[in-house]
Amino acid sequence: MDFNQSAEDNLFDRARIVGKPHARIDGTLKVMGRAPYAYERNDVAADQLVGYPLCATIAKGRITHMDASSARAAPGVVSVVTTLEIEPLDRSENNVARLFGGDLIEHYHQAIAVVVADTLEQARSAAALIDVSYQQEQGVFDLEAAWEKLDNTGEPLSDVGDVDAAFQTADFTLDEIYRTASQSHAMMEPHASIVDWSDGGKMTVWTSNQMIEMNKQALATSFNIDPDTIRVESPYVGGGFGGKLWLRADAVLAALGSRASGRPVKLALPRPLVFNNATHRSGTLQRLRIAADAQGKITAFDHAAVSHTLPGGSGENPVNQTRTFYAGASRRVAHQLIDMNLPESADMRAPGEASGLAVLEIAMDEMAQKLGMDPVEFRILNDTQVDPEDPSKPFSERHYVECLRQGAAAFGWEARNRTPGENREGEWLIGHGMAGAYRGAPTLDSGARVRLQGGRLIVETDMTDIGTGSYTILAQTAAETMGMAMEDVEIRLGNSAYPTSSGSGGQFGATSSTAGVYAACLALQEQIAKHLDVETPRFENSRVLAGDTDLALSEVANGEEFVAEDTIHFGDFKDDMQIGTFGAHFIEVGVHAYTGETRVRRMLAVCDAGRILNPITARSQVLGGMTMGVGAALSEGLTVDLERGFFVNHDLASYEVAVHADIPEQEVIFLDTTDAASSPLKSKGVGELGICGVAAAIANAIYNATGVRVREYPITLDRMIDQLSNAAP
Amino acid sequence: MNPPNSAERHRETAQNGAERSNVSLVVNGARHQLELDNRTTLLDALREHLKLTGTKKGCDHGQCGACTVSVNGERINACLTLAVMHEGDDVATIEGLGEADHLDPMQQAFLDHDAFQCGYCTPGQICSAKAVLEEIRTKLPSHVTKDLTAPIEVTDAEIRERMSGNLCRCGAYANILKAIHQVAEERA
C-alpha cells in the first residue's frame, strides 16, 4: 500500500479501539515472569552450552600473543575461540569497530575470546585463565582538547541569512559554552543471545534486538553467509533505547562458540562489560550564540558542536533541532566529529535531539532572562509554522504554542518563583523551570502478514516490542480495521520469518508498524471481498456486511486459512514539509541550600504527537523519557580514564540512573491532535519526544532556585556548591 | 589490565576443597535436591538448574534488584548469595505468586497501573513491593522513617525509599508507586 498523500477522513477518525486505553496484552506474561527473554529460551534448542567473553584491557593497539591452553584444559570447557584464530569479521555498515577477529584493538573491552563450557561458572573461571599480551598504542581520549573546533571552523550543516551581521546589530546576544556527558543506555536486560550454528550451516539466533532484518543482514555480512540461512527471533526485549539497534558481540560470540562446539551456545554480556564493549551516547561540547532584537524576536542562531566517535562513526549531532525549532532569519549550525579511541558511540534515545535540546533550551532560558521576558512567552513569540531555513516548507501540524499554554496553566506557572535564589522553604531553595521539546516524526516502510483462521486473526511482523507497547497497539489496529474484538487477535512479533517491518527506533516504530498492519488487513479484506464476490464490504462485529451478504468472519474461509500480506510504503510527498512532534516540560525542584543536593519535586509534560494510539502505553513512554531525563540532568555521565581510555564507571552502581526515590509526581497531558501527513492512523511517535528538553527544564529550575547557572551535565552538586554559598548565605 | 599471576591464583584456588555440594531448597513450596558447583549463585540455581527464569539477571552484582526473591520471608538479591548457603531455606519467586486467571493482588495492581514496560525488572519489582508492605507492617524502619516507635504509614516517601534498590530503566516508577498504594489500600 502506498501512502502518497495525506490521509483523508477514515475509520480511525471514528475509532472504537485505536486511541482508546487498553492494558498491555503481553502484560499478564510479564507480571508472571513468563515472558521469555533471549537468554531464557531453554525450550528452543537442546544441549545448550554457556559462553563467556574475554574483553581487551587496552584501548588501542594490537594483541601480540594469546595463550588459551590453560582455559582449554579447564574443567567443563568445550571450546575456546580467540580473536587471533579468526580472520577479522566483515563489518556491517552499522558497526564502526569490528566485532571480532584479528589482532587489532580499536577500543577498551572489545571482545577478544569466547570460552564455551557446560556451565557459566566453568566458562567464567576458564576465561580468566587466558593470558594476553598487548602492544599498546597512544590513543586520543579527551574531548576537551577539541575546543578550538567550536570556533566556526569546518563545514556548517546549514548557513542561512547573515549570521555575523545579525549579531553585530542585535540588541541582545548570548554566547555560552555547554557540555553534555557521555551516557549509557543501561537497559535492564543485558545484550544476550542463544545461537545454534552447530553444523556451520543454518544459523538460528534467539536474541534481544530492536531491528530484526538489520540484525539478520549484519550476521550475514559478519560471517559472509547467505542471509536466507539465518533465522532471528526476538519476541521479548528487556529494554533497548537504541543500545540494541545493532548486531553486537553477544550474538557474534555465541555463533562462533556454537560452530566451534557443535552445540547451541548462550551468552549474555556480563554487566561490567556492557558499558565499554557495547555502544553509548557520545558526550558533546557546544557553543551556542543567540541574537535577538529589543522586543525579543530572535534574529540569529549560531550553534557549533563537537562529539566523539571511533573513526568512521557518526557521534552525537546536537545541532539539528536548532535548525527548525524557532523562528529567526539567520542561522548557522555545525557539528564536527572528533575521532577518538573511546568505545563506540552510537544512537541512544533521541540521538542528537536529547543532547541538543539540553543545551538549546538552557540558552533560550538565558535569553529570556536577558530580555526580562517570561520564558514561556519568549518561546511563543519565536514560534514558527514554517521551516525557518526554507519558509516554503510548512510544518504539517505544529501545536507547540498550545503545549506551552496548556502546560503553563496546568502547572500553575503564573505562581512560579520569579526571583532566582529567593524562594526558600527551610533549608531548601525552591525553583521552577520549563523547556520546549521537539523531535521529528519519521516513518519507515513496514510490512505485515495476517492470517484469518476461523474467527481468529493472527498478525505476523518482524516488528519488536521493547517495552513500547507494540503488541497492544498492533492488536488494536488489526481489531479496529477488521471489525473484530481485541481478544480474537493474536500478535506475533520479532521473527525474521515474518515480513520486514520498520523495527523499533527513532520513534518511528509505532506509526510505521501500525500502518503496515493496517495495509495487510486491507489486503485481507480485498481477498475476502473477491472470495465472496461482493463490492466494498464492511467489517463490523466480527462479520462481513455487503448488500445481502451478512456473514460471520469465522465462516468466511470455510475451515481454510486466508493469508494476506502487504507493506506500507511512505511516499516522498513528506519531503515537502516538516513533520515533527512537540512538547513542553515544566519542573519544580528543591536545591539544598548548604549541600547543593537537587530533588525534583514535580514534573509535567504536555505533548503534541498526533493521534495517541493508546493513552496508557504512550503515557508510559513519556514517563520513561522524563525519568531518563532526570538521570541525564542530575546523575548520568560516563567518566573517562584519560590515561587508559575507557569508561571507569562501567556498572549499575557507579553509572547512576534515576532510582525510584529520585522520581516525584509526574503528569502527562496529550493534546488532542492528528497529523494526516504522518500515516493513515494520523499518529506520530512519543518515545523520544518524552526525553527531549527534560534535562534543560531541570537545569533551568535549578537556576531559578539558586541563581546559579550550571552549563555542564550532569548537574552534580560539586558543579554549583562553590557558587551556592554566595547565592544562599 | 592483567594483574600478574592472575592465572596462577585461579589455578591454586581451584585445587582447594570440594568443588560441588548437595543443597536442598524449598522453592515455592516444593522441595528440590540439587547437586551444585559451589560457585553457583542462588539466582543461577533458580534460573539454570530449576529453569525458573522469572527471576531476572540484570547485573549479577547486586546493583539492580531484578533478581529480588524472598528467602525465609525476607527479600534478598539472589545474585549476591551462593545457593549452598541456603540449605533448607524457603525461597519464594515470581512463579509462586499467581496464575493467569488468579493473579496475586500485586501482579494485578502492576497490570492495572501499567507499572512496567519492557517487563525485565518487573518480577523483581513485584517481589520487592510485596516485601516492602510487609516490612512497613512489621515496623521495620527505613531511611525516611521519622518515628521509630510509632506504626509506619504507607507513604509515597516510604515506598520510594524502600523500592530504590530496584532499578527500572523504562521509568515506570510513578506507576509502580500507584500499584503498591492500591495493594496497601486493598489490605487496609
pLDDT in tens, A207-241: 999 999 999 999 999 999 999 999 999 999 999 99
pLDDT of B22 > 70? The answer is yes
Number of neighbours of residue A6 by Cβ within 10 angstroms: 16
Q: Taking Cα atoms as reference points, which of B150, B155, B129 lies closest to residue B139?
A: B150
Residue A526 lies in a domain: yes
Query: Coil, strand or helix: which one is B42?
Result: helix
Sort out which chain B residues have CB atoms less than 8 A from A237's CB and list them.
118
**First and final C-alpha spacing in chain B:** 56
Sort out which chain A residues have CB atoms less than 8 A from B11's CB and list them.
70, 129
Active site residue A344: no
**pLDDT confidence of residue B4:** 43
Q: Are residues A510 and A397 in the same domain?
A: no
User: Taking CB atoms and an 8 Å limit, are A239 and B63 in contact across chains?
Assistant: no
**Distance, CA of B92 to chain centre:** 9
**Domain made up of B105-187: CATH architecture:** Orthogonal Bundle (1.10)
Q: What is the C-alpha to C-alpha distance for residues A300 and A553, in angstroms, rounded to an integer? A: 60
- A contact test, residue of B38, B108, B118 with most A CBs within 10 A: B118
Distances from the Cα of B165 to the Cα of A437, A634, A654, B63, angstroms: 31, 18, 14, 7
| Model confidence band, residue A337 (pLDDT cutoffs 50, 70, 90) | very high
Q: Are residues A566 and A686 in the same domain?
A: no
ipTM above 0.90, yes or no: yes
pLDDT of A461 > 90? The answer is yes
| Exposure of A188 in the CB half-sphere (CA atoms within 13 A) | 34
Q: Are residues A585 and A722 in the same domain?
A: yes
**pLDDT confidence of residue B10:** 52
pLDDT of B77 > 80? The answer is yes
Q: Cα distance from B150 to chain A (closest Cα, Å)?
A: 23
Instruction: Specify whether the CB–CB gap between A453 and A524 falls below 8 A.
Output: no
Place of cell 594469546: A66
pLDDT of B11 > 70? The answer is no
pLDDT of A117 > 60? The answer is yes
Q: Taking Cα atoms as reference points, which of A530, A709, A552, A718 lies closest to residue A635?
A: A718
Average pLDDT over residues A132-152: 88
Interchain contact A128–B (C-beta under 8 A): yes
Q: Taking Cα atoms as reference points, which of A519, A685, A606 lies closest to residue A7?
A: A519
Q: Are residues A470 and A499 in the same domain?
A: yes
Q: Domain residues of chain B, as ranges?
A: 19-96, 105-187
Q: Are residues A560 and A449 in the same domain?
A: yes
- B contact test, residue of A25, A28, A29, A32 with most B CBs within 10 A: A32
User: Taking CB atoms and an 8 Å limit, are A188 and B167 in contact across chains?
Assistant: yes
Residue A517 lies in a domain: yes
Contacts with A, B 118-137, CB within 8 Å: 118-123, 126
Which chain A residue shows the shortest CA-CA distance from B101? A28
What radius of gyration do chain A's Cα atoms show? 27
Contacts with B, A 59-98, CB within 8 Å: 70, 75
Place of cell 492494558: A23
Which chain A residue shows the shortest CA-CA distance from B170? A624
Among A532, A557, A572, the domain boundary falls at: A572
Q: Are residues A605 and A702 in the same domain?
A: yes
What radius of gyration do chain B's Cα atoms show? 19
Q: What is the C-alpha to C-alpha distance for residues A56 and A341, in angstroms, rounded to an integer? A: 13
Sort out which chain B residues have CB atoms less than 8 A from A191's CB and list them.
none
Q: Are residues A406 and A453 in the same domain?
A: no
Q: Are residues A606 and A638 in the same domain?
A: yes
Which chain B residue shows the shortest CA-CA distance from A26? B119
Annotated catalytic residue within A402, A490, A688, A712: A688
C-alpha cell at A334: 555545525
Average pLDDT over residues B13-22: 74
Residue A46 lies in a domain: no
Show Cβ contacts of residue B122 under 8 Å, excluding neighbours closer than 6 positions. A30, A31, A33, B110, B115, B116
Cβ burial A455-481 (10 Å sphere, 16+ → b, else e): eebbbbbbbbbbbbbbbbbbbbbbbbb
Q: What is the mean pLDDT of chain A?
A: 97
| Model confidence band, residue B3 (pLDDT cutoffs 50, 70, 90) | very low
Which structural domain, as residue segments, surrounds residue A395?
373-441+579-727
Q: What is the DSSP letter of A495?
A: B
Sort out which chain A residues have CB atoms less than 8 A from B165's CB and list them.
659
Longest Cα–Cα distance in chain B: 60
Residue A479 lies in a domain: yes
Count H helices and E strands in chain B, helices first. Answer: 6, 5
User: Taking CB atoms and an 8 Å limit, are A34 and B116 in contact across chains?
Assistant: no
**pLDDT confidence of residue B17:** 65
Interchain contact B16–A (C-beta under 8 A): no
Sort out which chain B residues have CB atoms less than 8 A from A668's CB and list them.
none
Sort out which chain A residues have CB atoms less than 8 A from B54's CB and list them.
32-34
Distances from the Cα of A207 to the Cα of A74, A276, A369, B133, angstroms: 28, 20, 50, 36
Q: Are residues A516 and A499 in the same domain?
A: yes
Interchain contact B176–A (C-beta under 8 A): yes
Place of cell 531525563: A629
DSSP-assigned letters across all residues of A98-148? --S-SSEE-STT-EEEEEEESSHHHHHHHHTT-EEEEEE------GGGGGG
Residue A134 lies in a domain: no
Q: Are residues A462 and A568 in the same domain?
A: yes
Interchain contact A665–B (C-beta under 8 A): yes
**pLDDT confidence of residue B187:** 87
Distances from the Cα of A519 to the Cα of A538, A542, A560, A567, angstroms: 16, 18, 22, 6
Structural domain total, chain A = 2
**pLDDT confidence of residue B7:** 52
Q: What is the C-alpha to C-alpha distance for residues A193 and A254, in angstroms, rounded to an integer? A: 7
Residue A245 lies in a domain: no
Q: What is the DSSP letter of A183?
A: B
| Exposure of A152 in the CB half-sphere (CA atoms within 13 A) | 8
Superfamily designation of domain B19-96: Beta-grasp domain (3.10.20.30)
| Model confidence band, residue B2 (pLDDT cutoffs 50, 70, 90) | very low
Q: Are residues A586 and A720 in the same domain?
A: yes
Query: Coil, strand or helix: which one is A456?
Result: strand
User: Taking CB atoms and an 8 Å limit, are A187 and B169 in contact across chains?
Assistant: yes
| Model confidence band, residue A577 (pLDDT cutoffs 50, 70, 90) | very high
Interchain contact B54–A (C-beta under 8 A): yes
User: Taking CB atoms and an 8 Å limit, are A663 and B58 in contact across chains?
Assistant: no
The backbone torsions φ and ψ at residue A500, rounded to the nearest 5 degrees and listed phi first, read: -70, 130
Number of neighbours of residue A547 by Cβ within 10 angstroms: 10
Place of cell 522553604: A425
Angle at A661 between CA A657 and CA A662, to 5 degrees: 50
Virtual torsion, Cα A157, A163, A167, A168, nearest 10 deg: 150
Interchain contact B93–A (C-beta under 8 A): yes
